[in-house]
Amino acid sequence: MTSIDKDLRQLPGEDPFVVAKGGFYRRWLSMIADLDELTSIVASLEATTEDKWVPVWRAAGRRHEEAGDALTAAGDHQAARSAYLQAKTYYAIGRFPGEITAVKAAISADCARAYRKACAHLDPPMEVIDITCEGKSFRAHFRAPRTDTPVPAVLVMCGSDVFKEDRGWAADRALEAGLASLVMDAPGTGENPFPWEPESVKAWIAAIDALAARREVDAARIGAYGISRGGYSVMQLAGTVPERLKAVVAIAGHPFGYRMSDAELDEFIAARNRRAAFRFGAPDGPPSFPDWSAEKEQEIFDGWSLTALGLEERIDMPVLMINGSRDHLAPIGNIYRMLESGPVGTRCAKVYQGSGHCAFDHHDEWAPASFAWLADRLA
């Protein structure tokens, strides 16, 4: 992990030709060891369609993966892990926004391979486990402290375009806090075969069951941790099975139940449509993101919001919410809405003034602090 360069300008948005705090590369900035290398690669980009995009990021990933192979052969496993994690991150950028074509699936496999190499010598080890739910199986990554006494655990819930391989840092933070962890892909992404729909909360519930069944885990002390779309998912899960979770951390998330003003809605729609202008699949393929409208946003609210699903008041465990005030994908009003509901004293929040989606430029502060908070609530 690296601290984000304080000289980077704050520019929330989705422009992949700009490296900025809150911008497109916010998802990976804290995982990049050399920001000069990243900016150099971005400067070389000609287009975002996979024919121009994937080869650039694959070449960057391969350089680091080959360096990791050489370091492994020399017996320097710590340096090799760093190199493999850089390879994984560049492959992950090439995969964005997901396995939408065969080319994207291929570089996604590169990403998974590099990550497995990075984890080969971890102590305690990472275990790949298969979880079954209604006849379907999905893979997740489990780690636990070395102890003879069952410990609290956290389910780490990924978002729409960042898969479990990019959330390994969360398992590291959980271990530092004395927690076991299970990191899994969101429905509709990575190795999770369930579609992205409200009913797929059952996949998250199956993951809790898997955690609770582990001998290393105290089944009575399980929490959940979600980022971006995962920040929504953790709240949906908490409202669906409040008896199963003792504490939750939601980094961003939308829609909780907040209704935007007309001005907010106009800017929200404009931001979504600016994102939709970039195509990351085949040159002649469909748009990577749908056009947005007030009608589309209302449809999402009616089908997904915690209010519409009747979950808002069922969230009765301690909740920590974190975001930037200038989030263009998960309006900050979602946090304020949740602070206005629920049992007194159970909900708290940290809002970073001026930061964008998930306040990733403050990751070095909120990441350890949020896991320490979670460990305290699960103690």
Query: What CATH code is carried by the domain that includes residue 374?
Result: 3.40.50.1820
Q: Are residues 71 and 195 in the same domain?
A: no
| Mean pLDDT across the chain | 95
| Res 41: pLDDT | 98
Which of these three, 118, 142, 168, is where a domain ends?
A: 118
Based on the fold, state whether residues 29 and 145 are members of the same structural domain. no
Same domain for 110 and 59: yes
Q: What is the residue range of 205's domain?
A: 127-257+305-378
Q: Give the residues of the chain that fall short of pLDDT 50.
A: 1-3
Give me the pLDDT at residue 183, please.
Answer: 98
Query: Do 329 and 357 meet the contact criterion of CB atoms below 8 Å apart?
Result: yes
Instruction: Annotate 114-148 with b (16+ C-beta within 10 A) or e (fewer).
Output: bbebbbeebeeebeebebebeeeebebbbbbeeee
188 and 54 assigned to the same domain: no
- In this predicted structure, what is the pLDDT of residue 63? 98
- Based on the fold, state whether residues 90 and 221 are members of the same structural domain: no
Amino acid at the residue 277: A
Q: Which helix (H) or strand (E) holds 136?
A: strand 136-143
The model's pTM is: 0.95
* Residue 132 within any structural domain of the chain: yes
Domain shared by 155 and 235, yes or no: yes
Number of domains in the chain: 2
Token pair recorded at residue 337: 């809405």
92 in any annotated domain: yes
Residues 311 and 234 in one domain: yes
Same domain, yes or no: 228 and 138: yes
**pLDDT, position 6:** 53
223 belongs to a structural domain? yes
- Among residues 65, 92, 118, which one ends one of the domains? 118
Tell me, yes or no, whether 173 and 309 share the same domain.
yes
